[in-house]
């Protein structure tokens, strides 16, 4: 059974506005993060916090599902990954794991 952990996706003094109300959004930390569950305005910060916590927990291989769309979320994800020092590599997932709608990430130990 896969163990999950949770973190606040935003800094402790920030809360989400409607439809979530004043409560922070908690994200389970596994090797897959589906951004469809995150409001667009919070994607960058949620992803940054997810990466920090996944790295702290010792994950090395991750998959972020951002969807295909017109590529806006993908570019946000790739921009964050390119400036995160503990990201070793990243690229499109194989077709059976989401293709260009998901990004596979390798973290440094």
Supply the CATH number for residue 31's domain. 3.30.1370.110
Please give the pLDDT value at position 48.
96
Number of domains composing the chain = 1
- Between 24 and 104, where is the model more confident? 104
pLDDT (tens digit per residue) in 44-85: 999 999 999 999 999 999 999 999 988 899 999 999 999 999
In angstroms, how far is CA 21 from the centroid of its own chain?
22
Backbone φ and ψ of 67, nearest 5°: 90, 165
Task: Quickly state the pLDDT bin for 109 (edges 50, 70, 90).
Answer: confident
The answer to whether the CB of 47 falls within 8 A of the CB of 35 is yes
Buried b (16+ CB within 10 A) or exposed e, 57-88: eebeebbbbbbeeeeebbebbeebbeebeebe
* Per-residue pLDDT at 1 exceeds 70: no
Residue 53 lies in domain? 5-107
Instruction: Give me the residue label for tokens 């949770």.
Output: 6
């Amino acid at each position: 059974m896969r163990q999950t952990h949770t973190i606040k996706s935003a800094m402790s003094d920030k809360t989400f506005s409607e439809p979530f109300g004043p409560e922070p959004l908690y994200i389970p930390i596994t090797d897959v993060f589906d951004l469809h569950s995150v409001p667009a305005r919070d994607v960058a910060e949620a992803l940054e916090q997810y990466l920090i916590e996944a790295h702290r927990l010792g994950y090395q291989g991750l998959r972020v599902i951002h969807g295909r769309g017109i590529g806006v979320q993908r570019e946000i994800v790739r921009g964050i990954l390119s400036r995160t020092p503990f990201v070793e590599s990243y690229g499109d997932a194989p077709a059976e794991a989401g293709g260009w709608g998901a990004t596979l990430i390798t973290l440094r130990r």
